[in-house]
Amino acid sequence: MINKILDMSSSAFEKIAAGVLILVGISTMANILLRTIFNISIPGAIEIVQYGMLTANALALGRAGYLDRHIAVTQLIDWFPARLGSVFYTLVNLVSAGIFGYISYTYFVTIPHMIDIQRSTDTFKIPMYIFYGIMAVAFLLATLVYVYYTAQHAKKIIKPEPKKGKDEEPVLLERDMIV
C-alpha cells in the first residue's frame, strides 16, 4: 500500500520534473537564438532557468530515492556482507530522511511568511510561496521515501534474508532494472 502510493506520487513528480526541464531547455535555446540573431533577450529567461531547475531537481529527488538511484557509495557497500550493508544503508537513509524532513519543515514554516510579505519573482510576478509549497511537498515525499527504505533495511538487519545457493540466480526487482 505505502509502496504503491510512493510509486504513484514519485512517478507523477518525475513527469512534472521532465516537463519543467523541457520548458527550461526550450526557453534557453530560444533565448540564445534570439540574442544571437536579433540581439534581444526573452524577458524572464533567467528566472525560468533558475526556478525551473530548482523545481525539477526537488521533484525528481523523491523519484530517485524511490528507485534507489540516489547518490550513494554502493560500490563500497556491495563488498560488505548483506547484513552489514543493510546497517550502512539504514544509516544513510536515516540521515537523508532527517535532512530532507528538516528542509521540508523549513519550507512549510516559511510559506506563511512569504504570503505575508507577498514576495514574487521579478519578471513574471509569480508568488514565491508557490515555489516554497512545491519544494515543501517534494522534500516531504523524499523524506517519506527515505523513512520507508530505512524501515526496509532495518528489517534486513533484524531478520536477514536466507543465503542463496550457488545454482540460484538473484532475483531482479522491477525497480532494479534500468529502462
Read off the pLDDT of residues 154-164 as tens digits, 9 standing for 90 and up. Answer: 888 888 777 66
Read off the pLDDT of residues 112-129 as tens digits, 9 standing for 90 and up. Answer: 999 999 988 888 898 999
Contacts (Cβ under 8 Å, ≥6 apart) of 131: 51, 54, 55
Per-chain mean pLDDT for the chain: 84
Q: What is the mean pLDDT of residues 69-84?
A: 68
Q: 117: domain range?
A: 2-161
Residue 174 lies in a domain: no
Residue 148 lies in a domain: yes
Residue 166 lies in a domain: no
For residues 39 and 124, give the distance between their C-alpha atoms in angstroms, rounded to a whole number.
22
Residue 84 lies in a domain: yes
pLDDT at position 143 is 93
> Residue written as cell 523549513?
106
| pLDDT of 8 over the 80 cut | yes
Position 168 confidence tier, pLDDT thresholds 50, 70, 90: low
pLDDT at position 179 is 47
> Residue written as cell 556482507?
81
Q: What is the mean pLDDT of residues 82-88?
A: 81
Domain count, the chain: 1
CA distances from 19 to 23, 26, 32, 58 (A): 6, 11, 20, 13
Of 33-37, 79-83, 106-110, 131-135, which gets the smallest average pLDDT? 79-83
| pLDDT of 42 over the 80 cut | yes
Position 111 confidence tier, pLDDT thresholds 50, 70, 90: very high
Residue 173 lies in a domain: no
